[in-house]
Each structure stands twice: as C-alpha cells, then as structure tokens.
Structure 1
C-alpha cells in the first residue's frame, strides 16, 4: 500500500487501483491480479460432506427423531436441523459415508444417560440391554423412557426406531429382536426421554 500526495481527496476504485483514507492521509493499493479458485478439491469435499449430512437428517424426518431434534434445538435456541449439523457434521465424509459411528449423536441433551451400558445377543438374535443405576439419579427420573434406534451397516441411512421397547430408566434392562441379514453388524443407539418429551440424554452407541 502506497501513500498518495494530492490536493484532491480521492476515494474508491479507479481502474485496478483502490484509494482509501486513513488518519487524514490517502493511500492506494492494487487489486489482486486473480481471484482464488472458489471450487478447489477441498472446498468441494466440504460441500459434499454437508450434503451427505443433510441427506441423513432428511431420513430422520421420517421417524420420531425429528421431533427429538426439534425439541432439543428449542432448548438451546436453534432449529433441530442447525443443532444436528453442529453436533454431527464431522461424522460424515464427502463420499456419502458415516465415518464415526461412535461419535454420531442421534439425540443430545443434559438428561442423565445410561451408566455402564452393555448389550448381549442370544442365538435367536434377541438383544438384551443392561445399565446400572446412577447414585445421583437413584430417586430421580426413574420414569424416563428408553429410546432405541438401529442403524444397519448395510443400510446406515435408514434409521429404525425400535417401537417394541417400552422400558423406563428404573427397569435397568430392555430386550428386543433384531431383523437383519446374517452377519451384518448393527449399530445400536440408546438414550432417555423425559415423560414430557422435552428433555433428552446424549445417545450412546453399541455395536452388535
């Protein structure tokens, strides 16, 4: 940037030169010769990852999970979509895949979650979930309902809410049947929902 000596006050752009005034002095600088490419490979990857996350959220809208995110977003003054993207965008890649099932959240909130959550599968492909009682919530939130969501490895963008689970926090166990192709891993997400359906725990992930 160069200082300009002139009896005339000059501001703005003339040709490829931009004039500006600061502390009573006039300065001139040249415009950049070329604009950086706004469509680099990295920028394309970022945009594609965003589209992948949007596509997953659209599938959530076909389940009760949309209402979960809407209510959770309202609690932090965001839309459900904005909160989902803030929490989960990095869990997807630009090639259309979920890259971090453990980090993926299908719910988020400040409700107590499951302690020492574990899963076992019997010979009939029935899953039994167990969790411990929290000392802090031993007399609180016992009526919170457990919500279970499945993502099959061969159709991960088709979330399945397990309707047969009608279990509360105080039960400390839940059982449900899997309906999967032989040998296909299933990602199980569990979280608690308050009786008023206004508060939620962060979902926890298990692989069975």
Structure 2
C-alpha cells in the first residue's frame, strides 16, 4: 500500500505492485524494485546438487550420531568446529549429486590421534565366508601406540549402525570376527580403527572391502 500526504508539497511512499516508491517534494524521485523471494527453481544445478548432498550427509550424521559422532568425533571438536561439522566435512565427498554414496572408500566413521598399526590386512576365512580375519604388525610400538588399544570394526550396512568390537588388542596382532548370518557372503565395506581401552581417544579409520 502507498501513502500520500500533502502539506506544502507532495510526499508519496510505499509499495506499488512490485515497486517501492519514495517521492519527496523538491527532491529527486527514488524508485527501486522490491526484492522478491528466491524461487526454488532459481538455484543453479550445482547449488541444487550441493543441497541434495548436504541433506544426504546430514541424514547420515543423524543415523550414526549416538554410536559414532558423539563418542568419537566430539572428542576432536574444537572451538571453531563441532563434531557435527567435522563428520559432515569428512563424509561429504562420498556422496554424489543424487544423494547416494558413490565411493565407499570416502566414508569415515572414526577420527583421532591414535596411530594405526603397520601392515594391517583383512580377508575372509576361506573355510567360513561369514568370518573375517584381521592381521597387523606388533613389533616396535611407538610411544603413541599402546598394547591395550582395542581393534574396532565398522561394517557399513544400511540397517546396522553400531561398531563391532573384535575383542582384540593391539598386542595380539591378529583377530577374527563372526558377522551376522543374514549378511551372507556379499561384498562388505569395512572400516577399521583402534581406540584407547578407556575410550578416551581413537584413530582414523582405514577402509577395506572383502
């Protein structure tokens, strides 16, 4: 609505249609277009893809918040970056423009200062495909490595969201894990990492597929 006032001159101000108008007697006329709300289809294809990816990784965060982000990623949070920020930033590259995981090797479930061991390997038990075996080097542990560090495994599965405890320590150098029987012998995406025995620190994860 526009308002007009006449007291020794003309004064008009307000909105006329999509135009904001302000006229003062003796001054120049000032006219500018009113800003209109941004329409959904005004986003560029790149911006739309980025929004889809962000929604996907945010859902990913919510699904693993209590079992992964809070106990692990929040330990690496800083004044400038929360556990949420770090988790989203680390996992965004794994998702494509449709919001699906396009590269499982780019997913991450653990982060931290605990070192991973040398010569870490993973393979299925040839006599029992439902069992996965792990091996790593145990000689010459550094000061940052503790013999009591626990080997943890995250097996990516849309219906399963908790890390698996192998029950093995760094000093063991070997471990095996019996997978749920309903997983069968299908391809698995595994993320291995070590944690302090008291859960006070974690390592970065390493991806394997078997």
1:129 matched to 2:130? The reply is no
Greater C-alpha Rg = 2
Given that 1:191 and 1:201 are in contact with CA atoms closer than 8 Å, whether structure 2 keeps it comes out as yes
Q: Which residue of 1 aligns with 2:206?
A: 204
CA distance in 1, matches of 2:57, 2:69: 15
TM-score (norm 1): 0.72
Alpha-carbon distance change, 115 to 77 in structure 1, aligned in 2, over 3 angstroms: farther
Note the residue ranges of structure 2 that are not aligned, 5 or more in a row: 1-28
Q: In structure 1, which of residues 146, 151, 162 is the aligned counterpart of residue 151 of structure 2?
A: 146
What is the RMSD computed on CA atoms of the aligned residues? 3.0
- C-alpha change, 1:47 and 1:115, in structure 2 (3 Å) is same
2:81 corresponds to: 78
Instruction: Tell me how many residue pairs correspond in the alignment.
Output: 177
Change (3 A) 1:115 1:159: farther
- Distance of aligned partners of 1:185 and 1:64 in 2 relative to their CA distance in 1, 3 Å threshold: same
1:104 to 2:107 alignment: yes
In structure 1, the gaps of 5 or more residues are: 1-12, 18-34
Aligned partners of 1:16 and 1:105: how far apart in 2? Answer: 50
Greater relative contact order structure (CA < 8 Å, 6+ sep): 1
With the length of structure 2 as denominator, give the TM-score of the two structures. 0.72
Q: Classify 1:130/1:53 alpha carbon distance in 2 versus 1 (closer, same or farther; 3 Å).
A: same
Take 2:73 and 2:133, find their aligned partners in 1: how far apart are those partners? 26
Change (3 A) 1:56 1:14: same
